[in-house]
Chain A
Amino acid sequence: MNVEQELRAILDKWKKDAPAIQPSTKLADLEIDSVDFVEVMFEIEERFDIQMSQDNDQAQSASFADLCAWIEEQVSAKSSKKAKS
């Protein structure tokens, strides 16, 4: 499973009745309340073993594609750091 598929699986679990996720879908459109949203961010960090530096507002206004790109960037930075050490 790649980042996009795994992220979609996480968000699908939390979004309840919101419309299907498209690359341009903003996280704010997923109708996830603010309490659940911090758990979503935690779950993403746990799953990919990364630290999301974006605050809640930045993350809410990001699109699904943005979020995939952030995660891929961090995962790849982490792998190259590991390879060097």
Chain B
Amino acid sequence: MGCVSALGIGVEAFWRELTAGRHGFRPHVPEQAADQAERLLAHAWDYRSADHFSDDDLRMLDRNAQIAIVACREAVSSAGLPLGPDTVRRTAVVIGTTIGGMSTLDESFYRLYGERKDRLHPFTVPRLITNAAASHAAIQFGVTGPVMAIASACSSANNAVGEALWMIRAGRIDAAIAGGTEACLTFGCIRAWEALRVVARDCCRPFSAGRSGLVLGEAAGIVVLVGIWLARRGST
């Protein structure tokens, strides 16, 4: 497993904080917020792109894909997934995300409509498309099996893991790097959710009788799934 979340970088930090009963929500004024009002958000507070990627890598990676790749690295490493020439063809990357590279889209639109510039960076599309996280993770690990994104709102990550599982059961692949990523805490996206009137006034309390809505956050969570025949070879 691998993850990047408001509770820290990595599964160990996530589990330690979670089992201590701590959540990652904090009051925060979003960048570019015209009203300068604090919102309760769950940014991946400890995440710094320069800790994980070179400037050259970052040209192509929206935050959405960055945190996914960091989580993939941890998952692949902790699973001991063999990614050699004979296994990469039978390995899939399936990553759920609903919005994709929202920061890139937001910055690009601001440049066009706000600053009235007439050209966009040439890597705008590879950064913002929904399958960017899955594709860049596949490039990183040399995976040449099925590579795709699943976009099904809040169930995207679960569906991604489910589809990867069925690909293994169907015999199409032997292993999968699967999970979800989302990093869309731009002011525009936050305002869009607020317009829907579903953002909690206090905190996120699912299934509580007194709940008042959802709280927005960003995170990536990845698992490695391995077919029993590959697992029995003792490599994972």
Interface residues of A (CB under 8 A from B): 35, 38-39, 41-42, 45-46, 51
Identify B59's interface contact among A39, A45, A46, CB under 8 A. A39
Measured between alpha carbons, how far is A42 from B122 in the docked complex, in Å? 7
Measured between alpha carbons, how far is A38 from B121 in the docked complex, in Å? 9
Residues of B near A39 (CB, < 8 A) are: 59, 122-123
Residues of A near B116 (CB, < 8 A) are: none
Residues of A near B22 (CB, < 8 A) are: none
Interface residues of B (CB under 8 A from A): 59-60, 118-119, 121-123
**Using a Cβ cutoff of 8 Å, how many contacts connect chains A and B?**
14
A38→B119 contact, CB < 8 A: no
How distant is A43 from chain B, measured CB to nearest CB, in Å? 10
Residues of A near B119 (CB, < 8 A) are: 42, 45-46, 51
Contact sample, A vs B, 13 pairs, CB 8 Å cutoff:
A35-B60, A38-B122, A38-B123, A39-B59, A39-B122, A39-B123, A42-B119, A42-B121, A42-B122, A45-B119, A46-B119, A51-B118, A51-B119
Report the nearest A residue to B126, measured CB to CB.
A35
Measured between alpha carbons, how far is A52 from B171 in the docked complex, in Å? 49
Residues of A near B123 (CB, < 8 A) are: 38-39
How distant is B2 from chain A, measured CB to nearest CB, in Å? 27
How distant is A44 from chain B, measured CB to nearest CB, in Å? 11
Measured between alpha carbons, how far is A38 from B125 in the docked complex, in Å? 13
Give the interface centre of A35, A41, A46, A51 by most chain B CB atoms within 10 Å.
Answer: A35
Report the nearest B residue to A37, measured CB to CB.
B122
Q: A39-B59, A39-B123 given; name 12 further pairs at CB < 8 Å.
A: A35-B60, A38-B122, A38-B123, A39-B122, A41-B122, A42-B119, A42-B121, A42-B122, A45-B119, A46-B119, A51-B118, A51-B119
